[in-house]
Amino acid sequence: MTLLELREKLGLRLLTEKMDENRQVEGGYASDLLSWVMAHAKENQVWVTIQSHQNIVAVASLLGLSGIIVAEGVEVEENTIKKAEEENIPIFATQKSIYEICGILYNALAGSREKC
């Protein structure tokens, strides 16, 4: 699934100015503990969190994540958005809970795999 498809299916709001619409999303990972994400998330996954500080961009960039979804209506700091734009890491926002967005993400990705 591409980032554009993901954005549309999950009803996400893009906070960064741009994204590579064709970048592939191969899975998802949800956690708020940065060290845990660094140890377990995989390249080309999208990360679901409620963290909003600059360190989320550093972790996503280091791991080669496709993007970050900030859930539950958490407001993302402006300096985090600027850093994400510099690193080409799209940040999306949603009012949905982490539980809800992960369920939708799982179903959307499972559906896209069945088409392959």
pLDDT digits (tens, 9 = 90+) for 47-63: 999 999 999 999 999 99
Confidence at residue 22, expressed as pLDDT on a 0 to 100 scale: 94
Specify the CATH number for the domain of residue 64. 3.40.1390.20
Pairing of strands 13-14, 67-70: unpaired
Confidence at residue 113, expressed as pLDDT on a 0 to 100 scale: 59
* 108 within domain boundaries: yes
Structural contact between residues 60 and 114, judged by C-beta atoms closer than 8 angstroms = no
Q: Which amino acid is at 37?
A: V
* 39 within domain boundaries: yes
Maximum separation of any 2 CA atoms in the chain, in Å: 39
Q: What is the pTM of this model?
A: 0.94
CA proximity to 2, closest of 28, 29, 25 = 25
Confidence at residue 32, expressed as pLDDT on a 0 to 100 scale: 96
Confidence at residue 111, expressed as pLDDT on a 0 to 100 scale: 75
- The whole domain housing 42 covers 13-114
* 2 within domain boundaries: no
* 72 within domain boundaries: yes
* 66 within domain boundaries: yes
Low-confidence ranges of the chain (pLDDT < 70): 112-116
**Number of folded domains that form the chain:** 1
Confidence at residue 116, expressed as pLDDT on a 0 to 100 scale: 34
